[in-house]
Amino acid sequence: MKKLLFGLSALLLTASLTSWHWEKTQFAPVNKAAVVECLNMETQQAYKLEASTPAFAAMHPAPLVVNPENLLGKMIQFDAADGKQANAYFIPAKKKTKKWLVVIQEWWGLNDNIKLESDKYYAALGDMNVIAVDMYDGKVAATPDSAMKLMRGADMARMTAIIQGAIKKAGADASIYSVGWCFGGMWSLQTAILAGPQAKGTVMYYGRPETNMDKLKSIQCDIIGFFGNQDQAPSPAMVNEFEKNMKEAGKNLSVNRYEANHGFANPSNPSFNPTATADAYAKAIAFLKAH
> With bands split at pLDDT 50, 70 and 90, how would you rate the model's confidence at 160?
very high
pLDDT value of position 66: 82
DSSP reduced 3-state for 32: helix
Full-model pTM: 0.85
Cβ(219)–Cβ(199) under 8 Å? yes
pLDDT value of position 69: 86
> With bands split at pLDDT 50, 70 and 90, how would you rate the model's confidence at 197?
very high
pLDDT tens track for 61-91: 888 888 888 999 999 999 999 999 999 999 9
- Give CA–CA dist 139/166, Å, rounded: 18
The proportion of the chain whose per-residue pLDDT surpasses 90, expressed as a percent, equals: 73
pLDDT tens track for 40-50: 568 888 888 88
In our burial notation (b when 16+ CB lie closer than 10 A, e otherwise), range 227-252 reads: bbeebebbeeebbeebeebbeebebe
45-49, 174-178, 230-234, 276-280: segment of lowest average pLDDT: 45-49
Cβ(111)–Cβ(84) under 8 Å? no
pLDDT value of position 28: 40
The angle, 0 to 180 degrees and rounded to 10, between the axes of the packed helices 274-290 and 112-125 is: 50
89: burial class by Cβ within 10 Å (0-12, 13-18, 19+)? buried
Please state which CATH number belongs to domain 42-290.
3.40.50.1820
Domain locations in the chain as residue ranges: 42-290
The proportion of the chain whose per-residue pLDDT surpasses 70, expressed as a percent, equals: 86
Average pLDDT over residues 164-190: 98
Q: Rounded mean pLDDT of the chain?
A: 88
HSE-CB for 74 with a 13 A CA cutoff = 4
Q: Is the pLDDT of residue 279 over 70?
A: yes
137: burial class by Cβ within 10 Å (0-12, 13-18, 19+)? middle
Closest residue by Cα to residue 74 from 99, 91, 87 = 91
